[in-house]
Amino acid sequence: MSTSREKVLGRIRQSLRRGPLEEQTRARLEARLSAHATHSRIAFTADAVERFIDKAQSQAATVARVASAAQVPDAVADYLKSHNLPATVAAAPALRGIEWPRHLTVAFGATRGEHEAAVTPCLAAVAETGSLVLLSGEDSPTTLNLLPDNHIVIVNRSQVVRDFETVWQTLRERDAPLPRAVNLITGPSRTADIEQTIQLGAHGPRRVHIILVDDGEGSG
């Protein structure tokens, strides 16, 4: 195995007509990596929260705004009712702290798709594109984002950021390696593979519903 490795690296250097990089060059490349230089961003003047809502809706996500965290459980229940869904959800263990209404059955943990709806938090919401950023982890299993037909995501106003560059910066500030999966999700799953007709609900959620909690300041 290591011989193929040496072979490929050797061919690269041969094609580039040089040997292994000199210390100086390596130091320059190290510096480039740790600088995390950003490039052009997509400029916009709109308020970040308004833009996020706009963009998310344009990608077929739905948005409900609530004034405070205390109203989240009711907003979840309302959503389930309006779609004639059973009063059962799978939820990220990170949401254990919420006071869930008694009539709602909440299963904390991962899912194999036996749940029709899942509720999760997110790391951030990106105004540039209307994307949600979710991290895998003990408190937020990835299967919740993918297998149930309905994905309900709780976004605090303060989590709305302007662009992806801000997300990468936030991730680095956690001072840990990246989690196994960082999901950037923009609306529900879709396909255009049959006659280029867009159809929602290809393999992932058929619906993505965002509950935006208005207390707390937007960082955009």
Partner 1 sequence: MQFTSVDFQRNVSKALNDPFLQQALQRGMHGFVGKRADAVSAVPEFEQLRDEARDIKNHTLTYLDYYLEKFEASVTRLGGHVHWASDAREARELVLEICRKAKAKTITKGKSMAGEEIDLNEALEAAGHEVVETDLGEYIIQLAKEPPSHIIAPAVHKTRDQVSDLFHEHHRALGFEQRLTEVPALVDEARQVLRRKFLSADVGITGANFLIAETGSNVIVTNEGNGDLTSTLPRVHVVTAGIEKVLPTLEDMTVLMRVLARSATGQEASTYTTVFSGPRRAGDRDGPEEYHVVLIDSGRTAILGGEFQDILRCIRCGACLNHCPVWGSVGGHAYGWCYSGPMGAVLTPLLKDLEAAKHLPNACTLNGRCEQNCPVRIPLPALLRKLRHRQYEARLTSAMTRYGLRLWTFLATRPALYRLAFAAVARSLRVLGGRRGALSRVPFAGGWTAGRDLPVPQGTTFQSQWRARNES
Rounded to the nearest whole angstrom, what is the least distance from the CB of residue 83 to partner 1 in the complex? 17
Strands 88-91 and 117-120: parallel
Of 76 and 90, nearer to partner 1 (C-beta) is: 90
Q: Find the binder of partner 1 among 115, 155, 189, 220 (CB under 8 A).
A: 189
Contact with partner 1 (CB under 8 A) among 42, 46, 70, 107: 42
Order of strands, edge to edge, in the sheet holding 131-135? 131-135, 124-126, 160-161
Between CA 210 and CA 120 the distance in angstroms is: 10
Query: Is residue 25 close enough to count as binding partner 1 by CB under 8 A?
Result: yes
Query: Could you tell me the two tokens for 32?
Result: 């480039």
Map tokens 């999760």 to a residue: 120
Residue 121, token pair as written in the block? 């938090």
Site for partner 1 in 101-130 (CB under 8 A): 109-110, 112-113, 128-130
Site for partner 1 in 49-68 (CB under 8 A): 55, 59
Binding range to partner 1, per CB under 8 A, among 63-71, 78-86, 98-106, 188-196: 188-196
Per CB under 8 A, 17 contacts partner 1: yes
Two tokens, residue 34: 């740790």
Binding partner 1 (rule: CB under 8 A), the pick from 97, 102, 197, 217 is 197
- 31 contacts partner 1 (rule: CB under 8 A): no
d(CA 94, CA 47) in angstroms, rounded, equals 29
Stretch that binds partner 1, among 18-26, 45-53, 66-74, 99-107 (CB under 8 A): 18-26
- For partner 1, the closer of residues 78 and 165 by Cβ is 165
Q: Are strands 117-120 and 62-66 parallel, antiparallel or unpaired?
A: unpaired
Pairing of strands 150-156, 207-213: parallel
Please report which helix (H) or strand (E) contains residue 27, including its range: helix 23-35
Strands 190-191 and 199-200: antiparallel
β-pairing verdict for 160-161 and 124-126: parallel
157-186: which residues touch partner 1 (CB under 8 A)? Answer: 164-165, 168, 171, 177-186
Q: Please identify, among the stretches 63-71, 97-105, 116-124, 189-197, the one whose residues bind partner 1 according to the rule CB under 8 A.
A: 189-197
- Please give the residues from 132 up to 151 whose contact with partner 1 meets the rule CB under 8 A: 136-138, 141-143, 145-147
Q: How far is the CB of 102 from partner 1 (least distance, A)?
A: 26
